[in-house]
């Protein structure tokens, strides 16, 4: 299970990440739905007809932490059954480097953006991140 891979990577790296409780996750999921129109509880929101076009990039998972930069972010797998808070993109990258290849989502708590890196090596961005993806992922 993807959550297990993330938990193991967090433990192995010693990165300070906070696992959100169910109520906190629900608040974030509802915020993403209200502000960005994305149901992350559902299956493959990146494949929804209303989803923005993505960009295929095999190392795209490394670029998402660069987009996050020094800001706090959330990491979660498809279905948002688990959700972690990271202090910044560097901590996120350290964990992703220690995970098996996974499909994952990254967002901010305010639901200003949502990014997905899927199993087809596509990055899809909603909200503030949509333009970043459309511009070729340049930071």
Q: In what order do the strands lie in the sheet with 17-19?
A: 17-19, 84-86, 73-76, 104-107, 113-117, 122-127, 55-56
- What's the domain range around 18? 2-134
**Is 25 a domain residue?**
yes
**Is 139 a domain residue?**
no
Residue 13 CA to residue 90 CA, distance in Å, equals 12
Residue 34 CA to residue 12 CA, distance in Å, equals 35
Name the pTM for this structure. Answer: 0.93
The answer to whether residue 44 scores a pLDDT higher than 90 is no
For 14: left if phi > 0, alpha if psi spans -120 to 50, otherwise beta; the answer is left
pLDDT tens readout for residues 65-101? 999 999 999 999 989 999 999 999 999 999 999 987 7
Mean pLDDT of the chain: 91
Query: What total of structural domains would you count in the chain?
Result: 1
Which H or E element spans position 30? helix 22-36
């Amino acid at each position: 299970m993807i959550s297990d891979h993330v938990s193991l990577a967090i433990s192995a790296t010693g990165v300070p990440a906070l696992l959100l409780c169910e109520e906190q996750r629900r608040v974030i999921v509802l915020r993403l739905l209200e502000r960005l129109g994305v149901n992350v509880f559902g299956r493959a929101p990146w494949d929804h007809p209303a989803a923005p076009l993505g960009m295929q990039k095999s190392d795209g998972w490394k670029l998402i932490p660069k987009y996050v930069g020094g800001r706090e972010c959330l990491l979660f797998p498809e279905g948002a059954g688990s959700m972690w808070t990271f202090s910044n993109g560097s901590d996120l990258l350290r964990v992703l480097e220690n995970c098996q290849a996974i499909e994952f989502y990254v967002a901010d708590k305010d639901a200003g953006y949502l990014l997905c890196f899927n199993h087809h090596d596509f990055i899809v961005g909603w909200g503030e991140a949509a333009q970043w993806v459309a511009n070729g992922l340049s930071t």
